[in-house]
A and B are shown apart, each in its own frame.
Chain A
Amino acid sequence: MSVFEFVLSIAVPILIAIYTVNVTIWYWKRRNRLAAVGSGLLALLGAGFSIGYFTMRVLL
């Protein structure tokens, strides 16, 4: 796996997931529970799906 591929497929989704989790915490602190659930779900789905997919692609 080249550095470019690693950055693109693993590091970028992790960084964006951290950012989205941060947004989730921000919503949670502002007592907007539904919005927090929404952004948390998106972080989980997006990061899980992309990291899982690219890991599978590298492994297989």
Chain B
Amino acid sequence: MSDQSTDGKGVVLRTGRVGTVELAALLTVYGSTDIFLSFPSRLAEHSAQGAFFTPLLSAVLMLAALFVVFLLQRSVAKRNWLESLDETLTPYLTMPLALALSCYFLLQTALNAREFSETIITTVLPATPTSIIILLLLLTVFYYAMAGYEGLTRVSILLGGVMLVGLIVLTLLPMTWFRRELLFPILGNGPLALAKSGFRNTGEFPQLLLIMILAATLRNHKHTLRVGIMSISFSAVIMSVVLLVFIGTFASAVTGTVPFPMYQLARVIYVGRYVQRLESVFVFLWISAAVIKLGFGLWLTGYLYAHAFRMPLYRPLLPMFIVLIYVLAFLPPDLPTVQMLYANYFEKYSWIVTLALPVGLALIARFIQWIKSRRHRKKKRGSGKGDEESRESGTARARSGFRKGVLR
């Protein structure tokens, strides 16, 4: 289990150390869980037949941003981004930034909790009240977040493998219904619309932001960039393949009328009498992915809030955040409102948090570092002249007999 403590200089949140594959698995699962919800349907409605290119385009953009950030700030690979921003900028600026990020993850987790519970009601438990389902889900999520960051990553690596195998099964078996002609026109609404959609969809890739915050927790800092590349690429491929199968299987995919594409794909599976309707597999995969996503969202909310207020511990905050998530999840009256909020706010403006913020702040930090190093060099040059003068006078004094021994 992770430990937290304070050091001599001030308050430091300690989370424990994780391996490369563990963190990559966590970020991949966190980034690609939305495919179990209505996200593929919205994307297909937006980008028509070319929707499966959108995650790939977004991933290319995010990878470019990742390289830019790593080129601008080498320290990103080793240190917590917020801590290094404390030094280069000021704590007065990082505090509202951490608070804003905490609010962002809190709202996202609340909306996700509501969407997951509504999906459970629509698909498997139609008679159960929403409050009971959200309560049970949040209790599991709370336990999971209390287990800490190391626990989250280890469960992700275990479930990540199962999820990958399950997804392969769920995308291969409906191939009996797959029709190639449904994929044409392959660019959907045209290259410009596709590029716009790809840019907008970068909000679905929070890996860059997360890797910057969590880089310090890696055992081997040389692998930080590798974690980013792995998680972004895997998420993009998973989303793209699911969208490809979805669009090729359902003629109505591009109209946005299929609410839960993965569930529908699992329902249409028919490979002989014994292999058909595998939605039970889907439900298992989907609940485990939801628990990882919500657990990590809750953990991030607590961690960022604790960081903002220089708290040595984040765990005592989690019960109150669970209460807040429970209330916020109930604010939208129904599922269409939740989906509308997602489409109109989160999917539209998330790129500001996931793409513009890391790149912009890395640019600013680099600029400030450059100014500081320039000043330092100037000072050094000034003091260097003084040193040379004193050295010259010292040699003159030595020549004229002012030596230690002589003086004595």
Q: Which residues of A contact B (CB under 8 A)?
A: 5, 8, 12-13, 16-17, 19-20, 23, 27, 32, 34-35, 37-39, 42-43, 45-47, 49-50, 53-54, 57
Contacts and interface: CB of A to CB of B under 8 A. Distances in A.
A19 B316 CA distance: 8
A20 B319 contact: yes
A32 B316 contact: no
A48 to B, nearest CB: 10
B407 interface: no
Looking at chain B's contact residues, the main secondary structure is: helix
Contacts of B323: 12-13, 16, 46-47, 50
Contacts of B330: 53, 57
A34 B321 CA distance: 19
Contacts of B312: 32, 35
A39 B306 CA distance: 9
Interface of B: 11, 131, 135, 305-306, 308-312, 316-317, 319-324, 326-327, 330-331
Chain A contact residues: over half helix, strand or loop, or mixed?
Answer: helix
A20 B316 contact: yes
Contacts of A34: 309-310
Contact of A50 (B11, B135, B317, B327): B327
Sort A-B residue pairs by CB-CB distance and give the 3 closest, nearest first.
A38-B309, A46-B320, A35-B311
Q: Among the interface residues A20, A46, A49, A54, which one has the most CB atoms of the partner chain B within 10 A?
A: A46
Among B317, B323, B326, B327, residue most surrounded by chain A Cβ atoms (within 10 Å)? B323
A40 to B, nearest CB: 10
Given A23-B317, A32-B312, 20 more contacts: A16-B319, A16-B320, A16-B322, A20-B320, A32-B11, A32-B310, A35-B309, A35-B312, A38-B309, A38-B310, A38-B311, A42-B305, A42-B320, A45-B324, A46-B320, A46-B321, A50-B323, A50-B324, A53-B327, A53-B331
11 contacts: A8-B131, A8-B135, A16-B322, A17-B320, A32-B311, A35-B312, A39-B311, A42-B320, A42-B321, A45-B324, A49-B327
Nearest to B316: A23
A49 B305 CA distance: 18
Contacts of A46: 320-321, 323-324
Contacts of B326: 50
A38 B324 contact: no
Contacts of B320: 16-17, 20, 42-43, 46-47
